[in-house]
């Protein structure tokens, strides 16, 4: 191809794009579609004009929710009616709506929802039955329907070419008939039983790290892990109540007492999927969450997201012995559905302090895993801990505002764990 031919093809492509742009509303969203003359490129790159008649290429599917199957055209569009919320609204523990006004075009097929579409885990799940503690993905299908699946790639009987994930949610551990407890009201419970309403996400409202699994959105500003971090956090990429081998997950800690597990080293920091740190310091916790695009929780974020539990009671005081297993403790579940929100494990925060108020600044070595010295007073810095461990009593009561300024950043103990948070990514509709 000579330079002149290349320039001609570029010019033709510009003309093509301009023509499509001028007719985009007729192609996608016209309520009274007519025959349309469209410029396209032939195999040699020359401009030709095709007429698309109303009924030859436009298909309509009359269904109970009045979804329109739109023209078969290239490109991808995901437009929703409200950029401040997801396209999903919870109706019951197993059902939810997809909002009317949603417009999707994918691989030549599209929809414009003129009425809310209701989906159910009982009838729209592609395989099996709903499992508590599981993340589900919602798919738009090329034939105009929708499906729910645990498969992150495509639902059963479909491929990546004829289906696309548009969002998802977490089906939590809270039983569908659990009564209000702690500082949670009946209105709170309605949002948490079964599907966790705070866990809904879509393509334009999700965590910034694009890992929405196992998280809930707090006050529209940040996403918090639903579960305490487990040993597989760095490998999986998010928190879960199931280990990678599908057994109940164990809380990650800086020791193996009381059923805790050492966290595995991220793959990008030399891990191989099985080797662990053999400890859990502030440095380790920070490294793990950073490897998945998150950060450690702050004190303010912890206090807000943990509200709703029974205050000043540990798991043991409430009659639970966890043995490190991540599980549902009704009284220690927050109003956002955070499991074991407090009273089971101390969590490292990202906030560092001179906890002892010492002023004898000097070069301190041997504290950073051979990654440099610290110029700091004796026994500093400390990292704020929040939550409290499961054996605490009324003498040192746990709670949504419990904190400890006693642990240096290089300390490690079975009672020290972590949870991650991530900023909220919200795109214009």
Residue 409 or 429, more confident: 409
pLDDT digits (tens, 9 = 90+) for 322-339: 999 999 999 999 999 999
Residue 40 maps to a domain: yes
- Measured CA to CA, the distance from residue 189 to residue 196 in angstroms comes to 9
User: Are 177 and 321 part of one and the same domain?
Assistant: no
Residue 240: domain span: 207-429
User: Are 88 and 188 part of one and the same domain?
Assistant: yes
- Measured CA to CA, the distance from residue 350 to residue 124 in angstroms comes to 41
Residue with tokens 């490129």: 41
Query: What's the total number of domains in the chain?
Result: 3
User: Are 260 and 391 part of one and the same domain?
Assistant: yes
Decide which of 17, 35, 57 is a domain's last residue. 57
Residue 314 maps to a domain: yes
- 362-374: burial string, b at 16+ Cβ within 10 Å, e else: eebeebeeeeeeb
Decide which of 161, 187, 202 is a domain's last residue. 202
Residue 16: pLDDT band by 50, 70, 90 thresholds?
low
Residue 62 maps to a domain: no
Residue 279 or 24, more confident: 279
pTM of the model: 0.82
Residue 427 maps to a domain: yes
Residue 150 maps to a domain: yes
Residue 26 maps to a domain: yes
Residue 404: pLDDT band by 50, 70, 90 thresholds?
very high
Mean pLDDT, range 306-318, rounded to an integer = 96
User: Are 366 and 428 part of one and the same domain?
Assistant: yes
Sign of CA dihedral 263, 269, 274, 277: negative
User: Are 315 and 247 part of one and the same domain?
Assistant: yes
User: Are 344 and 317 part of one and the same domain?
Assistant: yes
User: Are 194 and 324 part of one and the same domain?
Assistant: no
The pLDDT value given to residue 395: 79
pLDDT digits (tens, 9 = 90+) for 20-75: 555 555 554 454 445 556 655 555 666 666 554 443 333 333 333 233 333 344 56
Sorted by sequence, the CB contacts under 8 Å of residue 363 that are 6+ apart come out as: 373, 374, 375
For 117, the token pair is 């579409």
Three-state SS string over the chain comes to: CCHHHHHHHHHHHHHHHHHHHHCHHHHHCCCCCCCEEEEEECCCCCEEEEEECHHHHCCCCCCCCCEEECCCCCCEEEECCCCCCCCEEEEECCEEEECCCCEEEECCEEEEECCCEEEECCCCECCCCCCCCEEEEEEEECCCCEEEECCCCCCCCCCCCCEEEEEEEEECCCCCCCCCCCCCCHHHHHHHCCECHHHCEECCEEECCCCCCCEEEECCCEEEECCCCECCHHHHCCCCCECCCCCECEEECCCCHHHCECCECCHHHCCCCCCECCCCCHHHHHHHHHHCCCEECCHHHHHHHHCCCCCCCCCCCCCCCCCCECCCCHHHCCCCCCCCCCCECEEEEEEEECCCCCCCCEEECCCCCCCCCEEECCCCCEEEEECCECCCCCCCCCCCCCEECCCECCCCCCCEECCEEEEEEECCC
Residue 359: pLDDT band by 50, 70, 90 thresholds?
confident
CA distances from 89 to 4, 29, 109, 169, 272 (A): 55, 24, 25, 11, 40
The pLDDT value given to residue 4: 65
Domain of residue 211, CATH code: 3.90.1580.10
Decide which of 57, 81, 103 is a domain's last residue. 57
Cis peptide leading into 318, omega within 30 of 0? no
Domain of residue 128, CATH code: 2.80.20.10
When mean pLDDT is compared across 37-46, 293-302, 370-379, the lowest value belongs to: 37-46
Residue 202 or 12, more confident: 202
Q: What percent of the chain has pLDDT over 90?
A: 70
User: Are 169 and 270 part of one and the same domain?
Assistant: no
- Measured CA to CA, the distance from residue 333 to residue 123 in angstroms comes to 29
The pLDDT value given to residue 109: 75
For 383, the token pair is 């990292």
User: Are 39 and 165 part of one and the same domain?
Assistant: no
The pLDDT value given to residue 121: 98
User: Are 319 and 416 part of one and the same domain?
Assistant: yes
pLDDT digits (tens, 9 = 90+) for 222-264: 999 999 999 999 999 999 999 999 999 999 999 999 999 999 9
CB 235 within 8 A of CB 206: no
User: Are 161 and 237 part of one and the same domain?
Assistant: no
User: Are 352 and 309 part of one and the same domain?
Assistant: yes
pLDDT digits (tens, 9 = 90+) for 106-129: 877 778 899 999 999 999 999 999
The pLDDT value given to residue 426: 75
pLDDT, averaged across the chain: 87
The pLDDT value given to residue 357: 78
């Amino acid at each position: 191809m000579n330079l002149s031919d290349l320039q001609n093809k570029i010019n033709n492509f510009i003309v093509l794009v301009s023509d499509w742009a001028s007719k985009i509303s007729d192609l996608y969203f016209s309520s009274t579609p007519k025959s349309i003359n469209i410029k396209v490129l032939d195999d040699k790159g020359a401009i030709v004009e095709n007429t698309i008649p109303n009924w030859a290429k436009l298909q309509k599917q009359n269904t109970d929710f009045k979804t329109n199957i739109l023209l078969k055209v290239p490109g991808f569009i995901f437009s929703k009616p409200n950029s401040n919320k997801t396209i999903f609204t919870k109706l019951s523990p197993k059902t939810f709506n997809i909002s009317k006004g949603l417009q999707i075009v994918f691989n030549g097929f599209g929809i414009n929802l003129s009425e809310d579409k209701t989906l159910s885990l009982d009838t729209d799940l592609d395989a099996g039955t709903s499992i508590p503690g599981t993340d589900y993905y919602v798919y738009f299908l090329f034939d105009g329907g929708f499906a729910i699946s645990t498969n992150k790639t495509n639902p059963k009987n479909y491929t990546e070419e004829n289906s696309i994930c548009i969002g998802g949610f977490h089906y939590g551990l809270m039983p569908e008939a659990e009564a209000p407890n702690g500082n949670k009201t009946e209105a709170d419970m309605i949002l948490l039983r079964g599907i966790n309403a705070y866990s809904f996400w879509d393509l334009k409202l999700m965590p910034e790290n694009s890992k929405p699994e196992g998280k809930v959105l707090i006050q529209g500003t940040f996403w918090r892990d639903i579960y305490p971090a487990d040993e597989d956090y760095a490998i999986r990429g998010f928190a879960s109540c199931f280990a990678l081998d599908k057994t109940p997950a164990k809380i990650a800690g800086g020791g193996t007492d009381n059923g805790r597990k050492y966290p595995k080293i991220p793959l990008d920091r030399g891990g191989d999927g099985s080797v662990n740190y053999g400890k859990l310091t502030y440095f380790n916790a920070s490294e793990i969450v950073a490897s998945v695009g998150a950060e450690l929780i702050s004190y303010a974020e912890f206090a807000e997201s943990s509200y709703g539990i029974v205050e000043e009671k540990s798991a043991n005081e409430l009659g639970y012995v966890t043995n490190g297993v991540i599980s549902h403790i009704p009284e220690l579940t927050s109003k956002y559905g955070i499991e074991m929100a407090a009273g089971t494990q101390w969590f490292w925060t990202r906030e560092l302090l001179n906890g002892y108020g010492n002023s004898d600044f000097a070069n301190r070595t041997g504290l950073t895993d051979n990654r440099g010295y610290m110029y700091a007073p004796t026994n500093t810095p400390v990292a704020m801990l929040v939550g409290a461990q499961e054996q605490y009593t009324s003498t040192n009561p746990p709670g949504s505002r419990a904190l400890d300024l006693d642990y240096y950043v290089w300390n490690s103990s079975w009672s020290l764990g972590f949870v991650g948070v991530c900023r909220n990514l919200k795109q214009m509709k």
